[in-house]
Amino acid sequence: MSIPISQPLEPMEAQLVDVVPNGKEWQYEPKWDGFRCIAFRDGKRLELQSKSGQSLTRYFPELVAALLKLPAKQFVLDGEIVIPVGQRLSFDDLLQRIHPAQSRVLKLSQLHPAWMVVFDLLVDARGNPLLDKPLKHRRRELERFAKAFDECESLWISPATLDVKVARRWFRGAGGSTDGVIAKRLDLPYEAGERTGMQKVKPIHSVDCVVGGFRYAEGKKIVGSLLLGLYDDQGLLNHVGFTSALSEVERQRLTPKLVKRIKPPGFTGNKPGGPSRWSTKRSSEWQPLKPDLVVEVSYDHFTGERFRHGTGLLRWRPDKAAAQCTIDQIEQGGTSLRLLHS
């Protein structure tokens, strides 16, 4: 017995658009905030493949065990690995799983077990490949297959709807544990590595932040990025991310102004470049600033008390007091677990 799909398999991806598309040809799903994963089972062999084609198998032993308990002895599933902590999904706990020590991985898998939210079936339990079938057919087969998930709390089928009003409601609730909305063409096959049949809409928010420090560009005495901070309930200024959305002219103009404002400590709470396995020598090299400069930045996702990605610099806010830049500006969504349990 052998599954009729070879590894690695490039997952079908989505094109970023500005609005949720409307039409009878679309199916809508929440965009889950986790690791994309394709699960291959062939008898007793189970492999978890990342979006980039790398193996995730050793990092999620609890998911391997759950998938091997399914009655189907062969299948290929496409989905997202997530980790629920309380009523939210934690991307930070997900990142901690990519650890070289197996003992650490096992400990974390028991402390906060991972789930797999499945949204596509590429090979069914009879070994039939479904990639050439339209999504409408694959979704119907997935719903049949997923009846076995009832016996395992680690495996879930992603909600899906044909109602654009529901999709827009999901989009408005995004920003915490979900990351927007995915729209998929019902009439198209699974196109590995392509973006033609899927669209994603991600929320963009803005927030006012204190510039608590800056980093020089690599190998130059010119500003490379601004380090952003927000005040917590105790009045501590915590580092929450950065923006490097500066033109060369802006960097040249800004550098002497910031150099004159260098003044420790900059951040009074969590600081940039704190000890972690992600730190590098350069990440700990930064210049503290007197915390009275305020910028408005755009961001797509805030999790684990920081911006997931770099932010966009919208404007300087000389009219805004630094003390007004508090963490409660951030909207913390919590819709995802309710969606799964509904």
Active site residues: 31
| Radius of gyration for the chain, computed over Cα atoms and rounded to the nearest angstrom | 22
Residues 6+ apart with CB under 8 A from 199: 14, 15, 16, 17, 21, 182, 183
Cα 278 to Cα 33, 37, 292, 297, 308: the distances in Å are: 20, 22, 29, 24, 14
Expressed in percent and rounded to 5, the helix, strand and coil fractions of the chain are 25, 35, 45
φ/ψ (deg, to 5) at 77: -115, 145
Nearest CA among 151, 158, 153 for reference residue 72: 151
Record the tokens describing residue 16, joined without a space. Answer: 């970023």
Nearest CA among 37, 103, 39 for reference residue 69: 39
Cα 156 to Cα 21, 57, 142, 170, 180: the distances in Å are: 26, 18, 11, 18, 18
- Burial of residue 48 (number of CB atoms within 10 Å: 0-12, 13-18, 19+): buried
Name the region of 206 (left: φ>0; alpha: ψ -120 to 50; beta: rest): beta
Peptide bond into 265 cis (omega under 30): yes
